[in-house]
Structure 1
Amino acid sequence: MRPKKTILCVDDNEQVLSVRTFLLETRGYRVIPALSSQQALEVVEQSLPGSLDLLLCDLIMPQMDGNELVRRAKQLHPGLPAMIVSGTVNAFDRASCADVFLPKGASSPAEMIERIRVLVARKRGPKKAHYAQPVNHMMTAVAS
C-alpha cells in the first residue's frame, strides 16, 4: 500500500479546520491540523524537507495571513506545494504566494480534493527516470 500523503491544514476557525481535516482523512490523507499560522510554521520548521506533501491554509487569519505563512514555509522548504483557500475573498491577487488559490464560492469539496490530488502528485514527479528512455530511443530510431 502507498504511504499516505501528509497535508498540513491551517485554519483559525476550529469548525472549518475540523470539517476539512475529516474530508481529507476520509480520502486517505494524513492531516496535521493547525489553528494558527504560527503553529503551522512551527510544524514546518520541525519537519524534514519532503515529509510534508502540501500546505493547505486559509487566506485571512489573525497575526499572519495565508500569504505570509506560505512565503515563510517556502523559504524553509522551497519544494513544498501550497494551496490557499478563502471563504471571504474572490480575487487571486490576495493570495499571490500560493501554487493554487481557491476563491470564495469556487471551492466545493470535490474541486478542492481534485486540486489537492493534482498538487501532491506533481510534487513527487515521475516515479523513475527510465520512463523517459524509451521515448528518446524511439526519437533516435525515427530520426535515423
Structure 2
Amino acid sequence: MATYESNILTVKWLEQETCNVAIKKLTFMAKAFGYSINSPIATSSLSLNDFHQAYTIVADDFFANQVKYSLWSAATSFSQLTLHHDREAMNIPPPDVLGSYLATGNSIELGAGILQMLFFHVENAEYANYSRIGAFIGNGIG
C-alpha cells in the first residue's frame, strides 16, 4: 500500500487535489487477505462444533438433512441482516484462487489459495507475484 501511495504521488497527469483524494481512498480501503476470521476454524473441531451447533443431522435420512441444512443456512443468513456491515469480512472461501476489488465498499479481498505456489512465492521476483495476483484482482472487478 505504501508503494501504491508513492506511485500515486509520482503520476504527473493527476492534479494534486485528485492525488489527495486517491490517497485518502487508499487509506480507508478495507483489506481482507487469506481467510475470514468470522468463519469457523476448519482445523478445529471445537470451532466447527460451535459454528454448526444449531444444525443437527438425522442418520439415514438424506432428504431431512437437506431440509434442515436449508433452514439452518437461511436462519444463519437472516440473523446477520441486523448486524452492522463488517467491511473486513471475507466473501471468498480460503482455498479458492480468487481476488477482487469491490468499488462500492472500497475493499480488496484475496483468498488464501492465491497466496500459494504457482501464483505467489516468496522467492519469485516481486513483479511476477504482483502481476499474477493483480490479474485475479482485475478479473474480479468485472
User: What TM-score do you get using the length of structure 1 for normalisation?
Assistant: 0.28
Larger RCO: Structure 1 or Structure 2 (Cα < 8 Å, ≥ 6 residues apart)?
2
User: What TM-score do you get using the length of structure 2 for normalisation?
Assistant: 0.28
Please state which structure has a larger fraction of its residues in strand: 1
